[in-house]
Structure 1
Amino acid sequence: MTRVFSLLAAGVLIAGLAQADPARWRPEWPETNFARTSIHDWSEIISCGPPKDGIPAIGAPGFLRAGDERRIGGREPVITVEIDGRTPRAYPIRYMTWHEIVNDRIGGVPVAVTFCPMCNSGMTFDRRVKGRVLSFGVSGKLRHSDMIMYDRQTQNWWQQAIGQGIVGEMTGVELRSLPSWMESWDQFRSRNPQGLVMAEPDHDRAYERNPYAGYDSSRQPFLYRGEDPPHGIPPLARVVRVGDRAWPLARIRDAGGVREAGVSISWQPGQASALDAGIIEKGRDVGMVRVRDVQGRDVPHDVMFAFAFHAFWPDGTWMVR
């Protein structure tokens, strides 16, 4: 599988570099203002194969009560979103892997639940920006192996891992991150028996399968040409990012959790990696993380691959001891 990824990456990388000039993208993106951007080196942006909306984001998803869901394996990961006063919702990674973005509304809050398989980044954002409610789609572009989203209202490009506009009129604008976390389906439904879980989308996909089997055991990330992380941390090791700090997941697991830098990070076993075995349920146990502040409130965070943290936070702090 590693060799397959390497060969595919080489082919896509060559094609992507050939299209590094944004002038080549203008026919597909006629409403995007490429003159306004925070990108200094256009070769960082690579066309990853599927065109704009070739990976279809989900809008207006359906939901089931947790007790009525029968498809999802107990160890499978879900992204949990709990907004005060509203029924908790779970977004299964088995669906997120194939669609990457879900545009939803929880009570009065329009949200974008996002997952980039290439860097294992799962973030939830408030879709309200400068008085408008944006709807996000998948551009078909990667930067540092992380998904570039776009919004349908302004055709602006947004970097998923950092939640920031990078091309277009919204360049430099930051989306507001909302607390969410990955946990096993068993964990979610035991805590929220009346909770809601996103229903299977009406698309022809093998949702129980992992199209990136073996990826998080690879030696190098897909379509990444940047530096490896410091401190001897493997590029595809998971880290817990809070702001501009990153804790190696192995350290948190071995310590049974940590309390420092104003946060409490807990870990417990029971969640399968979504990027390991061909059947998600059979993936190796990577455990579950929850991050809270000193008052016990959930804190926005990400459990991402180490290379992605280093790429987007080159001056970030590594909490290695």
Structure 2
Amino acid sequence: MFRLAFIFTLIANLASASPEFWRHEWPNTNFDVTSVESWVEILSGGPPRDGIPALDDPSFVDVFDEDRLMDREPVITLELQGETPRAYPIRYLMWHEIVNDDVRGLPIAVTFCPLCNSGITFDRRVNGQVLTFGVSGKLRNSDMIMFDRETESWWQQAIGEAIVGDLTGTELQTLPSWMESWGEFKERNRDGLVMDEPNQRRNYGANPYVQYDSSHRPFLFSGELPPHDIPALARVVRVGDAAWPMTRIAQVGEIKEGGVVLSWTAGQASALDSQTIGDGRDVGTVRVRDTAGNDLAHDVMFAFAFHAFWPDGDWKLGE
């Protein structure tokens, strides 16, 4: 299914990989400024601009008022000092990919790209301006391209950097957040908050990418596969330009290297395995901290995406 869809989409994209075909949809984007070497790198993922609707100003409920989530379902956790911990369920991000939120005056964007398994939280402030992000419908290296509604610049989600438009080269600040199971979050944060179900018609809790993370090749990706015989869709934990294979961390439980402490515990379902997210196979939870115990910004992404965006990255294989 993925292979056939890839072929047809690739043919369509090669015929229209040019700003001239995009200007009617993006009249305010400055295509004269870009860090992209070739427009062929940018593909349509299928949905048009805002076809995957980002969420703005989400509502929250108390942990013990939430009864829809399964304990093993993944959430993106944000625990800012002095603020009530918040959980953003992947069952909602699967269908919306971006949540524009505000935590006591701190504007943030919680993002999830299913095709890369990349879940990152950004500070939405850039040069004194607060940006609001949407989903462009475009992909590069199979990773979501976001856009900001203020300048209509395009942003690469995996690296948090503008790649097309007036803000090209600008980087967003990444905030420490992590994926864990709903059960882990509510056990640790009994007074926490969880994002409420959006008032939209979506099959929340279902996975539209059944067995995707068991595939041999990523969807809409034709780049170089990872080195060291690492499977393309194996999960790696990225900290900066270094990546630790999830299997290595799971095997030993904890790794301390280069000032980074990575620990693994079982109990989190893969969101990209079974039809029902909470029934996915156990991929576990990784926490990433410094030696003083402070949470570090990181990402748990597929190996092909790390290699695509960090081709000279440091593979922490323990050999």
Q: Tell whether the structures are fold-level matches, with TM greater than 0.5.
A: yes
Q: What secondary structure sits across from 1:247 in the alignment?
A: strand
1:96 shift after superposition: 0.3
Q: Deviations over 1:144-200 (max 9, x none)?
A: 000000000000000000000000011000000000000000000000011000000
- 1:200 equivalent in alignment to 2:160: no
1:57 shift after superposition: 0.1
- 1:304 equivalent in alignment to 2:301: yes
Match of 1:276 in 2: 273
Cα distance in 2 for partners of 1:99, 1:121 equals 14
Cα distance in 1 for partners of 2:38, 2:255 equals 38
Query: Size of the alignment, in residue pairs?
Result: 318
- 1:94 equivalent in alignment to 2:91: yes
Cα distance in 2 for partners of 1:59, 1:175 equals 18
| Partner AA of 2:109 in structure 1 | A
Q: What secondary structure sits across from 1:29 in the alignment?
A: coil
Question: Which runs of no fewer than 5 residues in structure 2 stay unpaired?
Answer: none
1:49-64 maps to which residues of 2 (within 5 A)?
49-64=46-61
Q: Deviations over 1:197-218 (max 9, x none)?
A: 0000011111011000110000
1:16 touches 1:48 (CA, 8 Å); kept in 2? no
Equivalent of 2:210 in 213, 225, 234: 213
Match of 2:259 in 1: 262
1:312 shift after superposition: 0.1
Match of 1:22 in 2: 19
1:49 shift after superposition: 0.8
Question: Which runs of no fewer than 5 residues in structure 1 stay unpaired?
Answer: none
TM-score (norm 2): 0.99
Cα distance in 1 for partners of 2:13, 2:87 equals 35
TM-score (norm 1): 0.98
Match of 2:223 in 1: 226
Cα distance in 1 for partners of 2:158, 2:30 equals 22
Match of 1:70 in 2: 67
Cα distance in 2 for partners of 1:19, 1:85 equals 49
Equivalent of 2:106 in 100, 104, 109: 109
Match of 2:178 in 1: 181
Q: What secondary structure sits across from 1:188 in the alignment?
A: helix
Cα distance in 1 for partners of 2:254, 2:97 equals 29
| Partner AA of 1:112 in structure 2 | A
1:57 touches 1:100 (CA, 8 Å); kept in 2? yes
Q: Deviations over 1:56-102 (max 9, x none)?
A: 00001010000000000000000000111110000000000000000
Equivalent of 1:127 in 124, 128, 132: 124
Q: Deviations over 1:236-259 (max 9, x none)?
A: 000000000000000010011200
Q: Deviations over 1:5-36 (max 9, x none)?
A: 11111111111121111111011001000000
| Partner AA of 1:94 in structure 2 | R
Equivalent of 2:79 in 72, 82, 87: 82
Match of 2:243 in 1: 246
Cα distance in 2 for partners of 1:306, 1:84 equals 31
Cα distance in 2 for partners of 1:15, 1:200 equals 35
Match of 2:282 in 1: 285
1:262 touches 1:294 (CA, 8 Å); kept in 2? yes
Q: What secondary structure sits across from 2:249 in the alignment?
A: helix
| Partner AA of 2:78 in structure 1 | V
| Partner AA of 1:215 in structure 2 | Y
1:306 shift after superposition: 0.1
Equivalent of 1:8 in 2, 5, 9: 5
| Partner AA of 1:69 in structure 2 | E
1:139 shift after superposition: 0.1
Equivalent of 1:31 in 4, 28, 31: 28
1:295 shift after superposition: 1.4
| Partner AA of 1:189 in structure 2 | K
Equivalent of 2:37 in 33, 36, 40: 40
Task: Compute the RMSD of aligned alpha carbons.
Answer: 0.5
Cα distance in 2 for partners of 1:31, 1:211 equals 32
1:128 shift after superposition: 0.5
